[in-house]
Structure 1
Amino acid sequence: MSLGLYLHIPYCLARCRYCDFYSRGGQKEVPDAYVAALLREMERICNCDCTALRPDTLYFGGGTPSLLRPDQAAALIRAAAPVPEGEVTLEANPETVDPAKLEGFRQAGVNRLSLGVQTADDESLARLGRPHTAAQSRQALAWARQAGFANISGDIMLALPRYTREEFDRTLDLLAEGGCTHISAYLLKIEPGTAFARHTPEGLPDPDEAADFYLYAVEQLAAAGYRQYEISNFARPGYEGQHNLLYWDCQDYLGLGPAAHSCLNRKRFYWPGDTRAFIEGTARPVEDGGCDGEDYIMLRLRLTQGLDEEELARRFSVRLNERQRAFWRRCQQAGYAQPGEGPLRLTPAGLIIQNSILTELLA
């Protein structure tokens, strides 16, 4: 089994209006005390030097991990000791980087950058609460290439208030021209507890319009050379995100930091969302059930590669029953699932309504 290590950096310059991830706004840097807490937990869980759990991938997520100093990132990478040539990803926001910082991250061992661009429209960025501009995104991508990053992912958020296909086209052009080898394209979702949930913005597309934007994005990304391999992820050949692929294949992953989730040996656990307790060492992981065949079905059906029924049986001793097979045939007839034998795979139209399909399939 492979292992992915996720390090949560819960600090941001400002909270975006749509964001429901655990983070603290109004921060300009990551305290050394927090980095020390991550190092402490790596030492405690990984038996002092992480040789027992040496990760195949390392992912700095947030929050805004690019608020780290390069020397802080270097200390964490050294302690994690990922396998040689292992994927080391750091999420970054355009307004938090400059040439020296990006060069420092590259020298520290980061070999994949994930840039939160979202849109090339400055008015949309302001509505989202993003503190950067399209020009800053363009500049950050140029600096990343100059620093030696050959593996760059860019985020696009779809179906924003007053969204148009032209806005998507401009954003895709910005990312493609900026050298992105991977693109994550997400539909905006209004999550409970966010600023958008309290004050819903005007001009949101309805569900049918949002679905049309998604299908348009799939077509345009394919035409630009980005192959879809997961509901929201597209890559040039060979640049698929290896860390997230571990999640979607029910491989082991260890998350450190407040609100970070883990699954080791099919047992799930998470850290409480309390930064102070994590720093002080008083927080402890909370058990959260196990990973079973249903999880594997749900996760594999996110992938265009689909679900191999023999692998499902081998790993989890689970097989689809006749009711489930009949339902899948109806999905094929309706155009939501790929026709024919072999792995069970959803079409782009099916991926949009994956949750509804899973609800019926796993009922």
Structure 2
Amino acid sequence: MPATPAGLYVHVPFCRAKCPYCDFYSITDPGSITAYTEALLAELNLRRQRVPRADTIYFGGGTPSILTPLQIAQVLEAIHSCFSVATGAEITLEVNPETVTPASLAAYRAAGINRLNIGLQSLDDRTLAFLGRIHTAQKGVDAYRWARAAGFDNIGLDLIYAVPGQTRSRWEAEMAGVVRLAPDHLSCYTLTMEPGTPMAQQVQDGQVHPLDEETAGRLFSATAAYLNHHGYRQYEISNFSRHAAGDTADRRSRHNRKYWTAAPYLGFGPAAHSFRDRTRWWNHRSLSDYLADLKAGRLPVAETERLTREQRMMEFVYLGLRQTDGIDTVDFASRFDAGFFDCFGSEVRRLIDEGLVAQSSGRICLSHRGMRFIEHVADRLLS
């Protein structure tokens, strides 16, 4: 059987401003961009041919659109030089609205980017201000329309909901505006207060009051219902792809699905993670350490972890639950030489009786209600 094609991820650790809810690694000093780009090219060269073939490339961050189209083109040229990249590979660039223009978007497309993921986050200026975003809703809409004018036919939008004070009607009004734009993909994330972020500190200090779990859960259910009704099929807890009448294109994120299906992926740049041959490793979460290692000709790996059979089983189950296709029990048996029901049968049957899980055609899937309580279901299965 031929090896599963890998995904390649490039972490660009620069932002114009740091959002108070974000715990991804990024810095706001652009003075090291040139040094970072040179180090990135060196890392690509050190890892050349570490996977036989790749069919997705994803520039994430941070704010990758802080890099110029010429810099993105240089990185893509190096990737094609160092790896066998499939014809028709999905090549995604994350962009923030305040960093792009009609000209830059056209130049990114000319450089080889064929999919955009725009950090819209909201169509409500009050929500954008609360989230610390430095663009307006109109600027977000402009960026989307410029991208379409530049010829991009595969565009995803990121949205954040369940912010303090948000009501269902207010959130559905935003979704209506987004649906009118007709993006190809939507990622809708509930606001989480990640430990160590400024927003988590604001919660601790009593300055911010998160929505209670019941209200956030109702908004989660409303999101899936609204988007499914308007032609967006949920394929993962937070992800939806557009299925227009007569459209045969699959707009699910090919790159992100690699993370959810245990496919191999290589990460480049500070804090980037990689996975291959049951081994996971990650780079230094520090640009200075990353630069120092590559200057010395060393791979910038912070730690490496060899996954045990039990860890791989747990990840397979959890990631399968996140996807609406669910857990493939035949695949489970093939990977682990163990029957799924031999391992989890009694608890699965209880979850089915409670209406949290459904069984169909060799798959175990969360019910709609179960999706609201995925952590509860996962804990019960994996304990």
TM-score by length of 2: 0.90
Residue matched to 1:224: 230
Residue matched to 1:263: 275
Contact 1:11 1:30 in 2 (8 A): no
Matched, 1:205 2:211: yes
Q: Residue 171 of structure 1: CA displacement?
A: 2.4
* Structure 2 gaps, min length 5: 244-249
Contact 2:116 2:152 in 1 (8 A): yes
Q: Which moved more, 1:267-276 or 1:334-343?
A: 334-343
Distance 2:76 2:128 in 1: 32
Residue matched to 1:344: 364
Q: Render the CA deviation track for 1:156-189: whole Å, top value 9, x for unaligned.
A: 1120011122332232233222231100011111
Contact 1:258 1:272 in 2 (8 A): yes
Contact 2:333 2:340 in 1 (8 A): no
Distance 1:75 1:338 in 2: 48
Residue matched to 1:123: 126
Give the 5 Å matches for 1:136-147: 136-147=139-150
Matched, 1:73 2:72: yes
Q: Render the CA deviation track for 1:290-339: whole Å, top value 9, x for unaligned.
A: 26222111111111011111111112223235572121122222221125
The residue type paired with residue 304 of structure 2 is E
Residue matched to 1:41: 43
The residue type paired with residue 306 of structure 2 is G
Contact 1:14 1:26 in 2 (8 A): no
Q: Residue 88 of structure 1: CA displacement?
A: 0.6
Kindly report the root-mean-square deviation, in angstroms, between the aligned alpha carbons of the 2 structures.
1.7
Matched, 1:309 2:329: yes
State the identity as a percent.
Answer: 38
Q: Render the CA deviation track for 1:253-294: whole Å, top value 9, x for unaligned.
A: 111111111101111100120101212315334202326222
Q: Residue 33 of structure 1: CA displacement?
A: 1.6
Distance 1:54 1:67 in 2: 28
Residue matched to 1:192: 195
> SS where residue 21 of structure 1 aligns?
coil
Q: How many residues align?
A: 359
Q: Which moved more, 1:163-172 or 1:79-88?
A: 163-172
Residue matched to 1:4: 7
> SS where residue 366 of structure 2 aligns?
coil
> SS where residue 240 of structure 2 aligns?
strand
Give the 5 Å matches for 1:1-363: 1-27=4-30, 31-47=33-49, 52-81=51-80, 82-200=85-203, 201-237=207-243, 238-280=250-292, 281=294, 283-290=300-307, 292-322=312-342, 324-363=344-383
Q: Which moved more, 1:218-227 or 1:80-89?
A: 80-89
* Structure 1 gaps, min length 5: none
More strand by share: 2
Distance 2:18 2:79 in 1: 28
TM-score by length of 1: 0.94
